Chain A
Amino acid sequence: MKSTFRQSMACLHTWTGLLPGWFLFVIFLFGTIAYYQQEISHWMRPEIESGPVSARALDGADAILRQRAQGAGSWTIAIPDGRGGDGFTVSWAKPGAAWGDRTQVMLDPQTGAETAPRDTRGGFFLYRMHFDLHYMPVMWARYLVSLAALAMLVAIVSGIITHKKIFADFFLLRFGKGQRSWLDAHNVTAVMALPFYLMITYTGLVSLLFTLFPWAISASFPSEQAYYKAAFPSAPAAEVSSGPAPVMPLRDLVSRVNHAVPGYKAGYVTVNNPGSAGATLDAYPQYDEFGGARGSVHLDAVTGKVLAVPPAAGGATTTQRVMIDLHAGRFSGWGLRLLYFVSGLFGTVMVGTGLVLWTVKRRTRLPDPDRPYFGFWLAERLNIAVITGTPAGIAAYFLANRLLPHDLEQRADWEINSLFMVWGGVLVWAMARPARRGWVEGLSACAALFAAVPVINALTTPRGLVASLMRGDLLFAAFDLSMLATAALFAFAAWRVLTRRAKVPPRRTPREARGAFA
């Protein structure tokens, strides 16, 4: 290849960016939204109040488990952190029963009273969609997501080499100049949060460590189980004591767990063999402490004696934890969280403008723009379907949460199906319509769907925007207002595409096209 390093990197950037680009757009968008997954969960469960779990609520859970879960093989208690939204739940099952046969009860985190909010997976689904996708085995999804992230890493590094004038490009955003504007927009959004993209891509790969390159494990350990046994040592076997004995009060057990390791906050607690003298407790943390412990704390659930704490982590394991925490940002307060969210949005726009740039650049070279070759046609349609279809689907997910009847069978699944039905609808529509019309209609559909969310919310719940503002409920008000802002942005984008195309028909400017290097 007789070319300079920069030229070959430009070529590499184009193709490692385009081929996984649609997929990356989806991963970026869902990941960005997932920074607010608990706030979204809260909005999607308007029946419950949010907030940290109180000692009173722990007592309520304790009472329910003692009264109704006698003779159960195990009790589990999921304690959400202060951001809430996911409900404070307890569950239990008969000895030997399958996991799916558990009885689950959700409690109000403040009062401990039993509540039954609508069946939804809330913001948690949007978070899982970010790396587990949907309608496919989780491992396949993680292979695909890891491969896309690896391509993204190569695209970022080759992109940096391609755009050597990074600081000059930062101040250069020319509007209304066709291809130049798309290139400028791509460069500005790329450069603006460049350290964030490198960090988020690399830490994302580390979050799914051993997915793509499991061979360090296969070469270093006799078996995969041997690795897991060494990395996550299990609890010492409890003494087999016969006879009944009551479990210590739940609030004392949780307090003992939290004092066993500095900074530890129990998030998911399992009591094994409650009611017997050999009852034990495993607790996993809430993961909102930066670089905090991952492993479990084990207690004797009758005496409260600490049996095991997570082993001290070495340098590499600590690096891995810090990277995962940097990626997920669970530790961040509202300011840093907003910065994460905005950087993620810029990343989504960076991928989106890169995808559009690929078609804009090639359209000027088409012999007949009305009858492009198949690859161009496909890229253009996929751009419309992904860039406008994904947000439309997410708006539909929120709308379905408010509109589906509460007693619908598998209601939570139907919320998710609604997301994909709308998304698929936009895809079919984009295939059938001329490209410009497809853009305008896709963007308008997004604007309409997002604008409908606060309206439907006000009509179906007592927690509409006006009511929330009067109550001083900032979270609900902020959610509705951000829906309106999103709708306004999509409406503006639709209006721009509609009017600009009419005024300035695309001109063929081969010199400009040759000068651009993206």
Chain B
Amino acid sequence: MRAISTQGVSLVSRIVGATLGAFALTGLLTAATSVLLIRMGADPVEAATGTTIASFAVFAIAAMWVFHARSVLRAWIWLAVIGAPCAVIVLTLGARAAAG
């Protein structure tokens, strides 16, 4: 069996990053922004609706950016660097966390 080339692994990783990676990042960013807006006094329905309306543009930009990134590893690092604080915000300040 022929060994899978590094290029092939890199391409698959890039495709996963541009789809699932961008998807996860968009979800986290949308949720975290909504939570932050509510903490800053926005109406919850307005915050959730507004951030979700913007989410599709965020996804498109994220997907194109991961697809074009110079190295796949760097793209994944950036996804993690932006995604992790969002996850922390959602877990600590989110409504379910606040409700206990």
Select from chain B the residue with minimum beta-carbon distance to A232.
B45
A158 touches B64 (CB 8 A): yes
Bound form: Cα–Cα A505–B27 in Å: 51
Chain B, residues 44-56, CB within 8 Å of chain A (1/0): the string is 1111111111011
Residues of A within 8 A of B94 (CB): 218-220
Interface of B (DSSP majority class): helix
Residues of A within 8 A of B18 (CB): 12
One of A8, A213, A222 near B95 (C-beta < 8 A): A222
Centre residue among A8, A157, A219 by max chain B CB count within 10 A: A219
Total A-B pairs in contact (CB under 8 Å)? 116
Chain A, residues 204-221, CB within 8 Å of chain B (1/0): the string is 011001101101111111
Centre residue among B68, B70, B99 by max chain A CB count within 10 A: B68
Bound form: Cα–Cα A12–B61 in Å: 12
Bound form: Cα–Cα A250–B15 in Å: 59
Query: Counting CB contacts under 8 A, is A231 at the interface?
Result: yes
Chain B, residues 2-27, CB within 8 Å of chain A (1/0): the string is 00000000000010001000010011
Residues of A within 8 A of B60 (CB): 150, 153-154, 157
Residues of A within 8 A of B26 (CB): 213
Select from chain A the residue with minimum beta-carbon distance to B7.
A1
Select from chain B the residue with minimum beta-carbon distance to A156.
B60
Residues of A within 8 A of B68 (CB): 1, 5, 8-9
A230 touches B45 (CB 8 A): yes
Contact A154 B64, CB 8 Å, known A215-B31, A219-B32: yes
Distance in Å from the Cβ of B98 to the closest Cβ of chain A? Answer: 8
Residues of B within 8 A of A210 (CB): 52
A216 touches B52 (CB 8 A): yes
Centre residue among A12, A154, A323 by max chain B CB count within 10 A: A154
Q: Which of chain A's residues 303-339 have a Cβ closer than 8 Å to chain B?
A: 314-317, 319-320, 323
A217 touches B56 (CB 8 A): no
Bound form: Cα–Cα A210–B55 in Å: 10
Residues of A within 8 A of B43 (CB): 314
Bound form: Cα–Cα A11–B68 in Å: 10
Residues of B within 8 A of A319 (CB): 49-50, 53
Query: Counting CB contacts under 8 A, is A227 at the interface?
Result: yes
Distance in Å from the Cβ of B27 to the closest Cβ of chain A? Answer: 5
Query: Counting CB contacts under 8 A, is A341 at the interface?
Result: no
B35 touches A220 (CB 8 A): yes
Residues of A within 8 A of B47 (CB): 216, 220, 316
Interface size on A, residues (CB 8 A): 37
A213 touches B67 (CB 8 A): no
B96 touches A317 (CB 8 A): no
One of B28, B31, B46, B63 near A315 (C-beta < 8 A): B46
Bound form: Cα–Cα A206–B49 in Å: 9
Query: Counting CB contacts under 8 A, is A143 at the interface?
Result: no
Contact A320 B48, CB 8 Å, known A213-B27, A218-B96: no
B64 touches A221 (CB 8 A): no
A150 touches B56 (CB 8 A): yes
Interface size on B, residues (CB 8 A): 39
Q: Which of chain A's residues 1-46 have a Cβ closer than 8 Å to chain B?
A: 1, 5, 8-9, 11-12
Bound form: Cα–Cα A154–B65 in Å: 11
Centre residue among B26, B52, B99 by max chain A CB count within 10 A: B52
A218 touches B56 (CB 8 A): no
Bound form: Cα–Cα A157–B18 in Å: 14
Query: Counting CB contacts under 8 A, is A479 at the interface?
Result: no
Select from chain A the residue with minimum beta-carbon distance to B32.
A219
Residues of A within 8 A of B57 (CB): 202
Distance in Å from the Cβ of B72 to the closest Cβ of chain A? Answer: 8
Bound form: Cα–Cα A24–B46 in Å: 31
Residues of B within 8 A of A150 (CB): 56, 59-60
A220 touches B44 (CB 8 A): yes
Distance in Å from the Cβ of A215 to the closest Cβ of chain B? Answer: 4
Residues of A within 8 A of B49 (CB): 209, 216, 231, 316-317, 319-320
Chain A, residues 123-166, CB within 8 Å of chain B (1/0): the string is 00000000000000000000000000010011001100000000
Residues of B within 8 A of A222 (CB): 95-96, 99
One of B44, B50, B53, B55 near A221 (C-beta < 8 A): B44
Bound form: Cα–Cα A317–B18 in Å: 30
Select from chain B the residue with minimum beta-carbon distance to A213.
B55
- In the assembled complex, 28 residue pairs joining A and B whose CB atoms fall closer than 8 Å, in A order, are A150-B59, A153-B60, A154-B59, A157-B60, A202-B56, A205-B56, A213-B27, A213-B30, A213-B56, A213-B59, A215-B28, A216-B33, A216-B34, A219-B32, A219-B34, A219-B96, A220-B44, A220-B47, A220-B48, A222-B95, A227-B48, A314-B45, A315-B50, A316-B46, A316-B47, A316-B49, A319-B50, A323-B53
Q: Which of chain B's residues 57-100 have a Cβ closer than 8 Å to chain A?
A: 57, 59-60, 63-64, 67-68, 70, 90, 94-96, 99
Bound form: Cα–Cα A473–B49 in Å: 45
Select from chain B the residue with minimum beta-carbon distance to A215.
B31
Bound form: Cα–Cα A219–B38 in Å: 10
One of A11, A12, A216, A315 near B30 (C-beta < 8 A): A216
One of A154, A209, A218, A220 near B53 (C-beta < 8 A): A209
One of B32, B35, B52, B96 near A213 (C-beta < 8 A): B52
Distance in Å from the Cβ of B31 to the closest Cβ of chain A? Answer: 4
What would 18 more interface pairs be, CB under 8 Å, given A12-B67, A215-B28, A231-B45?
A: A1-B68, A9-B67, A12-B18, A12-B63, A154-B64, A205-B56, A212-B23, A213-B30, A216-B31, A216-B49, A219-B32, A219-B96, A220-B95, A221-B44, A222-B99, A227-B45, A316-B49, A319-B49
